[in-house]
Structure 1
Amino acid sequence: MAHIDQVLGPADDTVTFFQPRAMVYVTMLWVTAAVWAVCLGLHILVRLAIGDAPSAGELVTYLEVALVVPVVVAAAILLLAWRRLGWLHSSMHGLDFAATGRKPVHLPWAGVATVALRRWGPFTELVVTPVAEDFATVGDGPGRRPRLRRRAGEVSYLVDVGLMSPGPEVLLAELHRRLPAKV
């Protein structure tokens, strides 16, 4: 009679998806720069509206601030999230995942009802819906509770995957490859 490990195949068939720190930094940089530029622009417009036009020296200072602040803020955000960036492991044992800053969750394949993507670009989220809420095991460790979405009596876990490598579409294809066929 065959041993169960021989029937299941190799124990190390894990596929890992993660958020590269450089990609997170660049994304945080352009988002911060866009918000900061709008704030500075509004500040200058308000000054112009009340009749207090900035001098040439003040405009140079605004430009310096516009270039430096987003770099520093993006670096600070990355340092705060350094060891807490989102990840996902898909293996024969099930699905393990954690959103940025959240506790990890383990879900066996038999407990996964559906997986889907929502939103687009860096804001893409993976929606993992278990068959029942008690199928999921929340792990120990640092971080806040996993992000949940409750709709029509269903509980789903949300994972930020927009910046994951190799990409959300590849991640979804891997999950669909592993999901047991529903009859």
Structure 2
Amino acid sequence: MAHIDQVLGPADDTVTFFQPRAMVYVTMLWVTAAVWVTALALHVLLRLAIGDSLSAADIVTYAEVALIVPVVFAALILLLAWRRLGWLHSSMHGLDFAATGRKPVHLPWAGIATVALRHWGPFTELVVTPVAEDFATIGDAPGRRPRLRRRAGETSYLVDVGLMSPGPKVLLAELHRRLPSKV
């Protein structure tokens, strides 16, 4: 005969979603590089428009700056956010989450009205709308207050999930699996 714990399953069935640092770094690198190279190209075009000419040394300097600045800038951003990247835990106790640099929030499953994704790619956000603001418990961890969206009398919490592993669609499927059937 099976033991009762084996029949009911594990006491802690937490599923964790997190932002891998390497993925955050690479994403910050390409975004920073795109902005920086565009700014440098505009600077070069402005110089050429006013009649200035570029020497071989200028071209080498622009190439060096285009390669070095995004790498250093992305590394600095990652170092600043190293211990404060976003995460989400889904367990039988409810939903716990924190956006990057924000305080954690706990919501019991019965206290969640809706969950949805907005935007796309690395900019995807999870929108968690509680039944009432009283259901949410904000943790004491360091960081700024959670990101809120107030619309039509509802308050929703926003979590950056575009770079979370596994991906946002898996995260949303997990949340819908756990939510009471009213959603």
- Report the TM-score when normalising by structure 2: 0.95
How many residues are paired up?
179
Task: Return the alpha-carbon distance in structure 2 between the equivalents of residues 39 and 122 of structure 1.
Answer: 22
What SS class does the counterpart of residue 17 from structure 1 fall into?
strand
Q: Distance in 1 between matches of 2:86 and 2:26?
A: 16
Instruction: State the Cα deviation string for residues 141-171 of structure 1 (Å, max 9, x = none).
Output: 1110000000000000000000000100000
* Structure 2 residue aligned with 1:101: 101
Paired position in structure 2 for 1:57 = 57
Matched AA of 1:96: D
- Measured in 2, the distance between the counterparts of 1:7 and 1:101 equals 40
Partner residue of 1:156? 156
| Aligned: 1:116 with 2:123 | no
Superposition deviation, residue 8 in structure 1: 7.1
Report the more deviating stretch, 84-93 or 51-60: 51-60
Q: Tell me the residue number matched to 1:134.
A: 134
User: Normalization by structure 1: what TM-score?
Assistant: 0.95
For structure 2, list consecutive stretches of 5 or more residues without a partner in the other structure: none
Distance, in Å, in 2 between the alignment partners of 1:11 and 1:153 is 37
Q: Which residue of 1 aligns with 2:80?
A: 80
Q: Percent identity?
A: 88
The aligned counterpart of 2:12 is: 12
1:80 is matched by which residue type in structure 2?
L
The answer to whether the aligner puts 1:172 opposite 2:172 as a matched pair is yes
Deviation at 1:54, TM superposition (A): 1.6
Q: Which amino acid aligns with 1:57?
A: A
Shift of 1:7: 10
Structure 1 residue 72: Cα displacement: 0.2
Q: Deviations over 1:1-52 (max 9, x none)?
A: xxxx999753210000000000000000000000000000010011001111
SS at match of 1:95: strand
Amino acid at match of 2:57: G
> 1:70 corresponds to which letter in structure 2?
P
Q: Which sections of structure 1, spanning at least 5 residues, go unmatched?
A: none
